[in-house]
Amino acid sequence: MSIDVGTPGYAIDITAAAFQFNGQTLSAAIVEMEWNTKTEEDLVHYQGLQDPQERTKGQRSHDGTCTWGARQWALFCQTFGGRDAVLNREFTLVVNCEPENDPLLYTYTFNKFRMHSDSGNLNKSAGMTKVTFSYLSFEQETTAK
pLDDT for 113-142, tens place per residue?
Answer: 999 999 998 888 788 999 999 999 999 999
What secondary structure, in 3-state letters, does 7-68 show? CCCCCCCEEEEEEEECCEEEECCEEEEEEEEEEECCEECCCCCCCCCEECCCEEEEEEEEEE
* φ, ψ at 86 (rounded to 5°): -80, -45
Residue 89 near residue 77, CB atoms below 8 Å: no
pLDDT for 41-75, tens place per residue?
Answer: 877 777 777 777 777 788 889 999 999 888 889 98
Quote the DSSP letter at residue 70.
H
H-run or E-run covering 95: strand 90-97
> CA of 134: how far to CAs of 45, 97, 99, in Å?
32, 20, 26
Of the candidates 136, 95, 129, 96, the residue with the CA atom closest to the CA atom of residue 112: 136
- Tell me the pLDDT of the chain averaged across its residues: 84
| 3-class SS of residue 101 | coil
Rounded Cα distance between 100 and 115, Å, is 30
Domains and CATH numbers, the chain: 14-38+58-144 (2.30.110.20)
pLDDT band at 10 (very low <50, low <70, confident <90, very high): low
Residue 108 near residue 133, CB atoms below 8 Å: no
User: The pTM is what?
Assistant: 0.78
pLDDT exceeds cutoff 60 at 3: no
